[in-house]
Structure 1
Amino acid sequence: MKKPPHKQIQPTAVTPQGPKKGDLLELVVRDLTDEGFGIAHHESRQILLSGALPGEVVRARVTFAGRRDIYAQVLTTVQRSPERLAPAPCPRSNRCDGCPLIFWQYQRQVAWKKSLVEREIRRYTSLRGATIHDVIPSPKTLGYRNSAKLVLAGTFREPIVGIYRRNSHDVLDISDCPLHHPLINEVIKAVKEGIRKGKVPIFSPRTGTGLLRYLVVRIAERHNRAMVVLVTVERNFNEIHHLAKFIRQAVPEVTVVAQNVNASEGNLILGSQDHFLTKDHAIIEELGNISFSISPRSFFQVNSGGARIIYEKVREWSALTGNETAFDLYCGIGGISLFLAGSCRNVYGIEVVDAAVADAEYNARLNGVENCSFDAGDAAELIDDLLDDGIKPQLVVLNPPRKGCDRQVLEHVAAAAPERIIYVSCSPMTLARDLDILAGFGYRTSAIQPVDMFPQTPHVEDIALLTRDADSAKMLSQKPVATPARKSPNKRKRGR
């Protein structure tokens, strides 16, 4: 017998400008945005849906209606995609924006991420000859996050530890997030219990009162050790010391506890002052045979298994013989530099953040590596300084933040004329832009390897291999490529 059609929701009356906050709508999902939101349309307006897949029919409530963007939350799925997991690994999957793909089959996630990379790369004629490999999956699809930066809200009687909901100041509790390393969730549970027992006041942005603002947890997976940073609005000697003691008793794997003071009104999580409540000030993580010291401010990839894949792929594509000189730009705490050090003559790491350079130097000593040196400063200027000293690279590695490289940096890299460039990026869009610029300087992108560093989210990491086109480089050498960099008056001395 033919089933009767499903009952339609009668949508709330809307203004000529489109749906309003609170409206109930029935929508057909056509596609996904780069951020993993379902795309639907209503009265010629685009609606972005958290928790929806292409081809699905959903009933949703509008949660935000702005002039440009309208967001809605899925209430029920009328027609489900066959690619949807049932049940999803997380009970909050239809309410949390932190991992919008968690209800999607993993093989479909990685295929979709490859399509994102292909779309951005193929926009440029200069890149259409590049081979785009299939995405390398993450070794772990759940429980892979080795760090978490979380907001504290509520009261000491009912503390909330979580993340902000999109377009609001409401905090969604994610105490048992399936993406977290299990030890992070144990720490969160202990922190909440310690707050209750110690009656530790939680900061309220509305009233400006309270003490605790944020919780930062970092994990060293190899040895199952944890670091806890309690971010407060002022220095505190009583409640925080008791809370730190409770956390360590409840979770013995916690070997480092620090209080960070941040009284600013902005969204910056860490302030400028750290006060350690334990003898140890860092945890040690290992990737392969390389050890890394991680402090409260150290940058370290959130997926240790994925980071190792990237570092090893960079080393493989570098094709080093032991006689080369490499420049590692945006080197952070020296991860790629240390992975390359055993295969080349010298590595010169460049990073704008002084604290990261100090970490990189310490990590080199920790591993007994003597052929790496690190500088803090402007990348373009420091490249020129190295060239002026007669140091010419055969390999340059670029690993910039999401915004990509400044054009001046790319000009100076091209002027250094390395045989190979390897570009590591967390943004397919800025990667494609910068590869096209480098193509204009005589560098051909031969291959791109996507790596899934962030399962259940729309983010994807990419590694690109570029080689110097001899004919193009010869033409470019007949005209200046880069404008001379202004010398820094406080240039830091190279080496340790």
Structure 2
Amino acid sequence: MPEKNQVCNAEITALTSEGSGVCRVDGMAVFVPDTAVGDKIKVRIVKVLTSYAYGIVEEITESSPDRITDNCQVYKKCGGCVYRHISYEAECRAKADTVRDAFRRIGGFEPEFEEFLSADTTEHYRNKAQYPLAVQNGKAVCGFYAQRSHRVIPVHDCALQPEIFSSITNDILDYIDSKKLSVYDEVSGNGLLRHIYLRRGTHSGEIMVCIVARKDVSRQFSSLCRNLTEKYSDIKSIILNINPKCTNVILGEKCITLWGSDHINDTMCGNSIQISPLSFYQVNTVQAEKLYAKALEYASPSTTDTIADLYCGAGTIGLSMAHKAGKIIGVEIVPDAIKNAQFNAKMNNISNAEFYAGDAGNVFAELSKNGCSPDIIILDPPRKGCSEDTLRTVTNAAPQKIVMISCNPSTAARDAKWLSQHGYNTVKVCGADLFPRTRHVECVVLMSRDKA
């Protein structure tokens, strides 16, 4: 059994779902960040637990063929990316393995694993950024939290964000300093400004600037609105979001429009989409379109089928299928997102879609009582997966197909296992990369009702 501070020779043979390399020392698995499969290293053991240990690299004695030179100055400080030191091909292999492993290990499944949906680009793909604010050396800064902390690492040019975001945030920081506006401190609870939150339509180019504060400080930003809109013609909306709570949740419930519109517009799967500050919208538009196309392929609706889209957000998935189906019913817990979904349906002349606000399980249970009998159910839950109540409501409705889109293969496999115990077969699984260079991976799952 290895001991703390012991230095050993080892070879990395696998990657975890969190992006750390795995080697074995004295028969025990040791997890080592910033390594690649095939690296031969000297590893220092830093923590030993009952069945595994953690280590750090002392020296790379032989580099893996997958290893590359990362191009980010804060890569090892920022908590965002974990794969900038390996090739994108190697990253996709690791993520595909993560999906397969989850369904085999957690679900006990051996479905058809389809070809992994890799991204066309790994740079500047995000349409949203949420930058926490802090004060360092007497100046306002923004960036991202260091891993497993709330210590802000200033980031001036994140390779994952649109380049224009860096310019806009720098102008906002200069304004905060020039006006001597206070920045929120989590420890003391003092200060006003919490986050800078930016959204951009990938196809439209429209930009929303949202500043998150503890209380209404609208009067402080009139000249900032003028400065930003004169400099950046793509800015269509400037919002102040009020979040007075001591919480890790970024956005509060109240939004005040300081300039322009209360939303921006974009296009998703050929449909015009309205996006408000509180709306869920996939952060990688191009990859989301691939993901939704795969979901449509799995659903394969006929013009007489009713599709229930649970956790529907702004309605993007259901609306992408409306032209193939008889009826779309969307359910989402965020009222503003439902308003966006209803408007999006109207804006695209889609008359066969209805949207309801509320908990997916509760609302759909009521719809079922009123005779709603879906042929296909689409599930797109948050990372924690579906509640058992929602899953029970789904199986009680007895659709012929269930298509699950998940940002967490582990909870997707767990939920698929529950569904498999209640009459559904896991037929196909397809992994997809919506977040290149980060540890996150999505998957689409096709389940069919067991006729037996």
What is the TM-score of this pair, normalised by structure 1? 0.83
Residue 103 in structure 1 maps to residue 91 in structure 2: no
Match of 2:126 among 145, 149, 152: 145
Pick aligned residue for 2:351 from 367, 370, 380: 370
1:321 partner letter: S
Contact 1:147 1:184 in 2 (8 A): no
Query: Partners in 1 of 2:321 and 2:206 — Cα distance?
Result: 27
Partner of 2:372: 391
Runs ≥4 residues deviating over 6 A: 24-27, 41-47, 59-62, 64-73
1:129-208 alignment runs, 5 A limit: 130-155=111-136, 158-208=139-189
**8 Å CA contact retained: 1:51, 1:95:** no
Give the corresponding residue for 2:94. Answer: 112
Give the drift of 1:155: 5.0
Structure with larger Rg: 1
Q: Distance in 1 between matches of 2:154 and 2:324?
A: 46
Q: Where does 1:40-119 land on structure 2 (aligned, <5 Å)?
A: 48-57=31-40, 77-86=60-69, 88-119=70-101
Match of 1:280 among 254, 261, 269: 261
Q: How many Å apart are 1:109 and its aligned residue?
A: 0.8
> Which letter does structure 2 place at the counterpart of 1:131?
E
Distance 1:300 1:90 in 2: 26
CA-to-aligned-CA distance 1:92-128 (integer Å, 9 cap, x gap): 2232231110121111111111111111111267622
SS in 2 for 1:221: coil
Match of 2:275 in 1: 294
Unaligned runs of 5+ in 1: 1-15, 472-496
Identical pairs, percent = 29
Q: Is 262-271 or 422-431 further displaced after alignment? A: 262-271
| Matched AA of 1:84 | R
String of CA shifts for 1:386-430, please: whole Å, max 9, x gaps: 333233211111111111112232222222221211111111111
Q: Distance in 2 between matches of 1:153 and 1:46?
A: 38
Matched residue SS, 1:312? helix
Q: Show the counterpart of 1:213.
A: 194
Corresponding position of 2:388? 407
Decide whether aligned partners of structure 1 residues 112 and 17 sit closer, same or farther in structure 2, where only a CA change above 3 A counts: closer
Contact preservation (8 Å) 1:73, 1:94? no
For the Cα contact (< 8 Å) 1:326–1:396, is it kept in 2? yes
Cα distance change on mapping 1:27 and 1:200 into 2, 3 Å? farther
Q: Which deviates more, 234-243 or 423-432?
A: 234-243
Aligned positions of 1:207-286 closer than 5 A: 207-286=188-267
User: Could you tell which deviates more after superposition, 154-163 or 461-470?
Assistant: 154-163
Q: Provide the secondary structure at the position in 1 that maps to 2:272.
A: strand
Classify 1:127/1:250 alpha carbon distance in 2 versus 1 (closer, same or farther; 3 Å): same
Change (3 A) 1:148 1:198: same
Residue by residue over 1:287-331, the C-alpha shift from the partner in whole angstroms, topping out at 9 and shown as x without a partner, is 132011111111100100111111112222222221111111111
Amino acid in the other structure paired with 1:432: A
Distance 1:289 1:235 in 2: 38
What is the alpha-carbon distance in structure 2 between the residues aligned to residue 203 and residue 410 of structure 1? 40
Comparing 178-187 and 46-55, the one that deviates more: 46-55
Runs of 5+ in structure 2 lacking a partner? none
Q: Is the contact made by 2:10 and 2:42 (CA closer than 8 Å) also made in structure 1?
A: no
Distance 1:51 1:40 in 2: 13
What is the identity, as a one-letter code, of the residue corresponding to 2:372? I
Q: Which residue in 2 is equivalent to 1:333?
A: 314
Whether 1:323 and 2:287 are equivalent positions in the alignment is no
Count of aligned positions: 449
Specify whether residues 236 and 352 from structure 1 end up closer, same or farther in structure 2 by C-alpha distance, changes over 3 A only.
closer
If the length of structure 2 is used for normalisation, what is the TM-score? Answer: 0.90
RMSD of equivalent CA atoms: 2.8
- What secondary structure, in the 3-state scheme, does the structure 2 residue paired with 1:120 have? helix
Contact 1:260 1:274 in 2 (8 A): yes
In structure 2, the CA distance between the partners of 1:205 and 1:60, relative to structure 1 (3 Å rule), is: farther
Q: Which has the higher strand share?
A: 2
Q: Deviations over 1:213-263 (max 9, x none)?
A: 211111111121211111122222443333333333333322211112222
| Alignment-mate amino acid for residue 294 of structure 2 | K
1:33 aligns with 2:19: no
User: Could you tell me how far apart the structure 2 residues matched to 1:209 and 1:387 are?
Assistant: 48
Query: 1:461-480 maps to which residues of 2 (within 5 A)?
Result: 461-471=442-452
